[in-house]
Amino acid sequence: MSESLSVEIRDAVAVLTLNDPPYNRMSLEFMDELEGEVESLAENTEVRAVMFTSSGLENFSVGMNLKQLPEGIRKRGSAEALFEQRLQVIRSIETMGKPWVATLFGYCLGGGLEIPLGCHFRLAADEGAQIGLPELDLGAVPSWGGSARLIKYVGEHHAIDMILRAKKISGQEAHRIGLVHEVWPLGELKDKAFELAVSLAKMPSQAVRSMMEVIVDGREKSLDQLIRAEKKAVSDNRGSPDSEEGMQAFLEKREPVFNQKARS
């Protein structure tokens, strides 16, 4: 365990925990460590899903430690280079081909929402969550891809309302507008997120990766391009061990057991 990020792997799920309670600021050290872990997890065949959470139950994250901004600019050479690192880390999460599940509770602000927006599933606490991109309150704008992804998930109508008014919305409201997939009592949230990650890890990994390639990049492609991508996914999965196991399990009226080759 490091000072800012811990990683635990169990049941084919990597649990990443940001360790800076109670506010769980995303320090320069944390972002460097997260960048390395993302690269490592992408190559780790034993990990088929990732859960991203934070220490304690007070706040997921208030975002970047702004006191470190001058130091980060100095180390990276420019503000553009500093923010580019964050953009690349989030994009790598998004395109890894392994599903990420994020927990949202307490303050989830700035980078504390922008990284979850790069994850594929977001689960929120049913009370106490304050979720938003309030950078305009500081005379700034979202800089880790938050505005672009927020539009993708909730549409221009809700995105412009949240960003231009620097709104912080509840978990229930986030669920209503499609920003999060599920809402749970705070005491159950992390357990439910892990259960979801385990269930995703049990799905056929090649099929999951293929569909994620189609879906994640879907907004950047035409219908014809998406159909070609889907046809490639069909070809890649035809005759795979998992597809044969799925069909055999269906015929035998039992639950399929996928990823057996990965376990051997």
Considering 35, 114, 182, 213, which one is annotated as catalytic?
Answer: 114
Do residue 248 and residue 180 come from a single domain?
Answer: no
Q: Nearest 5°: phi and psi at 85?
A: -60, -45
58 is catalytic: no
Helix, strand and coil percent figures for the chain, each rounded to 5: 55, 15, 30
Residues 81 and 194 grouped into a single domain: yes
Q: How many domains does the chain divide into?
A: 2
Kindly state whether residues 33 and 162 are assigned to the same domain: yes
Categorize the per-residue pLDDT at 226 as very low, low, confident or very high, splitting at 50, 70 and 90: low
Report the pLDDT averaged over residues 81-92.
94
Residues 31 and 146 in one domain: yes
Q: pLDDT tens digits, residue range 155-201?
A: 999 999 999 999 999 999 999 999 999 999 999 999 999 999 999 99
Three-class SS of 77-96: CCHHHHHHHHHHHHHHHHCC
Using alpha carbons, select from 67, 59, 72 the residue that is nearest to residue 31: 72
Query: In Å, how far are 44, 72, 143, 214, 235 from 146, measured between CA atoms?
Result: 28, 20, 7, 21, 34
Residues 130 and 224 grouped into a single domain: no
Q: 88-102: per-residue pLDDT in tens?
A: 999 999 999 999 999
Tens digit of pLDDT for each residue in 104-138?
999 999 999 999 999 999 999 999 999 999 999 98
User: Is 41 a residue whose pLDDT tops 50?
Assistant: yes
Q: Which of 44-48, 50-54, 211-215 has the lowest mean pLDDT?
A: 211-215
| Known catalytic residue at 114 | yes
Task: State yes or no: pLDDT of 225 exceeds 70.
Answer: no
> Which residues constitute the domain of residue 242?
205-263
Q: What is the pLDDT of residue 223?
A: 58
One domain, residues 150 and 244: no
Angstrom CA distances, 109 to 53, 62, 140, 192, stand at 14, 5, 13, 22
Q: Which of 46, 135, 182, 188 is catalytic?
A: 135
What is the rounded CA–CA span in Å between residue 122 and residue 230?
25
212 and 149 in a common domain: no
The answer to whether residues 35 and 111 belong to one domain is yes
Q: What is the reported pTM?
A: 0.87
Distance CA 242, CA 229 (A): 20
Domain of 213, CATH number, reads 1.10.12.10
For residues 188 and 219, membership in a common domain is answered with no
Residue of 154, 146, 141, 68 lying closest to 108 (CA atoms): 146
Mean of pLDDT values over 44-69: 96
Higher pLDDT, 246 or 214: 214
Q: Report the pLDDT value the prediction gives residue 7, as an integer from 0 to 100.
A: 97
pLDDT at 263: 60
CATH code of the domain in which 42 resides: 3.90.226.10
